[in-house]
A and B are shown apart, each in its own frame.
Chain A
Amino acid sequence: EAGVVQSPRYKIIEKKQPVAFWCNPISGHNTLYWYRQNLGQGPELLIRYENEEAVDDSQLPKDRFSAERLKGVDSTLKIQPAELGDSAVYLCASSSLGLTQGNEQFFGPGTRLTVL
């Protein structure tokens, strides 16, 4: 069974440019998460989806970040315009029953973003 797929794996852009990341969760997982992981730190949750609904986007910087999960499967995370401080690894994760505590989240390999 395929795991969480993310693309691209690496992205280098200049500041003020837009960038988008794509995530395909594990088949059948209705909950999808986007995290940002700075160097030497643990991941920080940006947004959580239950099917196509964003049920927690409280940590998403909405002035420049946006996300969507059309049809409740794939998801994209966009930054426009990117700033130097956005350089990080963006991780996507999915789980089968998001409202059930202890349910394991499976992580993708991440997209490493470098903003010059």
Chain B
Amino acid sequence: KNQVEQSPQSLIILEGKNCTLQCNYTVSPFSNLRWYKQDTGRGPVSLTIMTFSENTKSNGRYTATLDADTKQSSLHITASQLSDSASYICVVSARSSYKLIFGSGTRLLVRP
């Protein structure tokens, strides 16, 4: 069964600190993996997308990594800001499929 598991479920950090969110998946055959940011009361917005051959992708202070062998991904946030408080959802696509398999998300709270 295609699944995406995320950890931790929630995380609280102080402003300016770094953090790393984890994603494990069992989707096969793998096509791509996206990290979405979902602010409260808003729809998800794509941060990064990685295909099988990509190991890392950056978007400003967000850096995603992908290990296709172990089927793991991480999202690293550097020098966190209050505006980073949101849910971060890992989403995986299977090859030849339009369907997205969503994780349950990690709820991040950045405190001043």
Contact = CB atoms under 8 A, between A and B. Distances in A.
Interface of A: 4, 9, 31, 40-45, 48, 91, 93, 98-99, 101-105, 107-110, 112
Contacts of A101: 31-32, 93, 95-98
B102 interface: yes
Interface residues of B, number: 27
Given A101-B98, A105-B100, A42 B89 contact: yes
Nearest to B89: A42
Contacts of B49: 102, 104
Interface of B: 4, 9, 31-32, 34, 41-46, 49, 51, 89, 91, 93, 95-100, 102-105, 107
A103 to B, nearest CB: 8
A107 B43 contact: yes
A65 B95 CA distance: 29
B41 A109 contact: yes
Contact of B42 (A40, A45, A110): A110
Contacts of B100: 45, 105
A37 to B, nearest CB: 9
Nearest to B6: A42
